[in-house]
Chain A
């Protein structure tokens, strides 16, 4: 199959205009020894054959809609995606456009991003949002870059709560390896520590404190006091937040956080085996010049019409090059649109229903599981839609047993926390019916 719309006759005419005989003549600058390699790739497929091949690959997976009951979360959540979202995303006007460098003919994308910024600010309780990051983990790493720039590299300590998603902490370490930054706070094996345990680590050399809300174990804390303590030392605080939880809970913005970041996949983006997802980054207006990523601002055009442009581009790589606050260029434009449509289509009312269903079902599941002999909800703190379940045997054995019963049990916390090897992180969303939950409880009762 080819998508090249040029006939052999037209090709020959064009070659003549260029002044060469054959297509191959265009490549004389390429070292001859390496020119035109034979590529050992499968022969080309027609569209029909490709559709079949990909169909077979996809259907060889067990998926969480058609085959399995799933209680997996830990950073990616199975939520209902209203039909209207994909109908809009499939419009070529949105998905086949580039980054809106020419605002006169890109107002659709620009206004959509502007609205995304506003929606995320409203959700997190912060003043400004950028146009997105690759995912929640890289958005968190960019918080470190902001803090580093804020203190001009003079403060080098980052206090990481052990209850921040382990993959996010790995990414922070990858990103910061050239900066001479010291990441502390998450080496303690005792993950049951409350956030107050981080307080002694926060001092005058601390540039950033990173917390998660609800935390990786599902727990909800009001971080106001720890944020005040960090501010007393001059440090910045970044809270990694779950957007579904923010529909119901006190915002990190209201707790005083300097940055609220996270993964917006729960808002209208499919699980897609891990990506692409949508990192969000919100902060206070005073940090906007240090923030990475694209930013859309309101203005007027030459005809006096309200319109939107990419603004503060002087922070960005194509202007500032090695002194840019980040190298980010392409972000997650189309998925920011998906997120905005999700929030708009559900609106206040629908979003509250989603959050309430998650909360109710998770608590029903926790209550029922807590009644089983040998099982116990591990923490006593309030939680939202994810909780830690202590099991009578290693979590991977429990999961293997559940898998044989058509259930993805939960995230095995023992992979990251040695003290929690018998513990599962169970996520429950509106997609889990009472029957699903009862099936999990029944299976574990039988185990």
Chain B
């Protein structure tokens, strides 16, 4: 029998306990629907409010988080989440507006959305932006749908292949798979760029386009990006930019200027929307002139121009060849757009450039200090992140062991085993919101761990040692598949 650190909410339940109660009804009573339409039991917990608070407080203490410490999770951009954003997104005027209200009554929301579209266009160099997609992966899916619709509209139906570099995020091929297209993997060259020879060979009239993350997941800005785009455009394909790494490009270069046709933004990475333990995200998409008519509907537009004393009226518009609706209503307005809007408004053009510059400085500083201890397979000036190998010659230690040992030093581990093209990859993204002292402590911990790997490898293999929980038996979880602490036949026992 396993030791229980914190009971589940069901185990904490006791019959007859009362939590938050609602007022008595103020209307005459109506009979309930016929018995056969009603449920007979409601097997949900019964707790007092204090039980609930203590439970979730205890759970919260089991989590590592950005407010508590350094979280260099590569590709995830775990930057500090400004507290003011938490206040602005909870203003009553945002919290309590219904998505189907008449547009005249929500002009504040619509102005915010309109300006957000305009700002994202300006930051990225695109001609149009939709705010609708719920997260990066949904933004990608929207982008691929638009690419497909573009070719289809032109009667170019034989295009079924998407070119994707071997270093790409898994969401890229998965988005393509959802549309029944095929994926052609393009290798990287020895400097971490797209292999131009392999790309040329793959470019033909069956290509939908290419999905390129730039900077790529090695943290390298592709030195031939314009040539890559030229090759893809040359065969009639469209160029998709995975905006997961946009943090490195703010005020540095605009993907639209480079020739990208479409790109998603991760407002929860680049623009400080918190990750929430796995969401909600927010994944607007920007497009160049070729794709503006295909954007998901609706967009926010000016539907009555301003005149003398009357401000413009903002409302919803549908692009001519829209691929349709990606989700219900208008996107992740409150928790996503309001926070990101606050963040951009407080940075302005110079502040945004600072973000990218310091994110890149911090990554290069770590890379420079770790270079002598860890092997860095693609070693040149990196952008916002870099990848090193978590292995040592003649040692059984793996990237996973190093990651787990870092927890003992009170750091969140880097992303491990990604990108797939680096053995025992440790992908490190410090972001711009870490100071030099933190970075130095992180370097010292990694250097110490490299020593431990030689002298006391078991210390790493058993790590984490000083955390509340040890390594998990993931095989047991997948084999026994206990996904629920409540099953109908168990309810009697719980009661």
The answer on a CB contact under 8 Å between B334 and A272 is yes
- Complex Cα distance A127/B412, Å? 34
- Complex Cα distance A358/B175, Å? 40
- Mark out the residues of chain B between 301 and 359 whose CB falls within 8 Å of any chain A CB in the assembled complex: 323-336, 338, 341-342, 344-355, 357-358
The answer on a CB contact under 8 Å between B63 and A93 is yes
* Cβ contacts A to B, 26 pairs, < 8 Å: A2-B354, A17-B365, A23-B357, A27-B253, A35-B253, A42-B345, A45-B346, A58-B94, A63-B92, A64-B97, A64-B101, A65-B96, A94-B63, A95-B65, A108-B277, A127-B487, A134-B327, A178-B148, A272-B334, A285-B481, A297-B483, A334-B280, A337-B276, A337-B277, A357-B22, A399-B102
Residue of A nearest to B55 (CB): A344
Q: Does B26 contact A (CB under 8 A)?
A: yes
* Chain A residues within an 8 Å CB radius of B155: none
Residue of A30, A64, A66, A137 touching B327 (CB-CB under 8 A): A137
Residue of A nearest to B324 (CB): A174
CB within 8 Å for A3 and B82 given contacts A58-B108, A359-B30, A360-B25: yes
Q: Count CB-based A-B contacts (< 8 Å).
A: 718
Stretch touching chain B among A97-105, A184-192, A201-209: A97-105
Residue of A nearest to B220 (CB): A29
- Complex Cα distance A65/B17, Å? 30
The answer on a CB contact under 8 Å between B42 and A348 is yes
Residue of A nearest to B334 (CB): A272
Residue of B nearest to A18 (CB): B364
Best-surrounded residue of A14, A38, A175, A329 (most CB of chain B within 10 A)? A329
- Complex Cα distance A430/B27, Å? 11
Residue of B30, B65, B225 touching A360 (CB-CB under 8 A): B30
Residue of B nearest to A171 (CB): B325
- Mark out the residues of chain A between 1 and 33 whose CB falls within 8 Å of any chain B CB in the assembled complex: 1-6, 10-11, 13-15, 17-20, 23-24, 26-31
CB distance from A15 to the nearest CB of B (A): 7
- Mark out the residues of chain A between 21 and 55 whose CB falls within 8 Å of any chain B CB in the assembled complex: 23-24, 26-31, 34-47, 50-51, 53-55
**Interface residue tally for chain B (C-beta within 8 Å):** 209
- Mark out the residues of chain A between 238 and 263 whose CB falls within 8 Å of any chain B CB in the assembled complex: 246-251, 254, 263
Mostly, the B contact residues are loop
Stretch touching chain A among B194-202, B232-240, B390-398, B471-479: B471-479
* Chain B residues within an 8 Å CB radius of A41: 119, 122-123, 344, 348-349, 352
Residue of A nearest to B359 (CB): A4
**Interface residue tally for chain A (C-beta within 8 Å):** 210
Interface string of B365-396 (1 = CB under 8 A from A): 10111000000000001000000000000000
The answer on a CB contact under 8 Å between B137 and A117 is no
Residue of B nearest to A32 (CB): B253
- Mark out the residues of chain B between 21 and 41 whose CB falls within 8 Å of any chain A CB in the assembled complex: 21-23, 25-30, 32-34, 36-39
Residue of A nearest to B352 (CB): A39
The answer on a CB contact under 8 Å between A178 and B181 is yes
* Chain A residues within an 8 Å CB radius of B180: 178-180
User: 10 other contacts beyond A274-B329, A433-B26, with CB at 8 A cut-off?
Assistant: A2-B354, A91-B57, A134-B138, A249-B33, A273-B99, A273-B334, A274-B331, A274-B333, A329-B171, A333-B279
